[in-house]
Amino acid sequence: MQAGEALTLRDGIPEPGPQVNAASLSAGREGWIVFDATPLGVAAPALFVQACELMTQPDSCAC
């Protein structure tokens, strides 16, 4: 991924989005993760671990 590139994972399938300003994307949005010019191969494992940790916390579901 390049700086400012948005990516949405929907059902485990990446859906690239438009180029955005990474600083404005994350400003004021709690829970968003922004990687600045980080290859997806490096970022994806960290995202997976964080998602697994959130799923194991009983009070993390906002259903």
Do the beta carbons of residue 43 and residue 1 sit within 8 Å?
Answer: yes
pLDDT of residue 63: 44
Alpha helices in the chain (DSSP H): 22-26, 40-55
d(CA 12, CA 3): 22
d(CA 45, CA 23): 22
Please tell me the pTM assigned to this model: 0.24
pLDDT tens series, the chain, 63 aa = 555 556 666 666 666 665 666 566 555 555 566 656 666 666 666 666 666 666 666 555 544
pLDDT of residue 5: 59
